[in-house]
Amino acid sequence: MSEHIETRKKIKEIASISSFHSLINSVTLSHTDKQILVLHYIDEKDFRYIGDMLGFSESTIKKRHKKILAKLSKVL
């Protein structure tokens, strides 16, 4: 669990949007997964809002986010 917390912290510390996009493009993610990251970390939307926007439940977004963090932790 703490690995995900560290990964979230590192993502939030990214200073520029271009660096953020470079990060998410450095791993294999679906278009939807990239949208989840942008909406959550750049647009600062919560998982319920993101789920409503993308047509998923809040719990589905949380699960996908956790899987995305696992992928990102390997490059951070």
5: left (phi over 0), alpha (psi -120 to 50) or beta: alpha
Residue 64 sits in a domain of what CATH number?
Answer: 1.10.10.10
Q: How many domains does the chain have?
A: 1
pLDDT tens for each residue of the chain, 76 residues long: 578 889 999 998 988 989 999 989 999 999 999 999 999 999 999 999 999 999 999 999 999 999 999 999 998 8
Q: What does the pLDDT read at residue 67?
A: 96
Q: What does the pLDDT read at residue 15?
A: 85
Domain span holding position 46: 2-73
Cβ 74 vs Cβ 27: under 8 Å: yes
Q: Please, which residues have CB within 8 angstroms of residue 15's CB and are 6 or more apart in sequence?
A: none
Rounded distance between C-alpha atoms, residue 50 and residue 57, angstroms: 9
Q: What does the pLDDT read at residue 2?
A: 77
- State the burial class of residue 16 (Cβ atoms within 10 Å of its Cβ: 0-12, 13-18, 19+): exposed
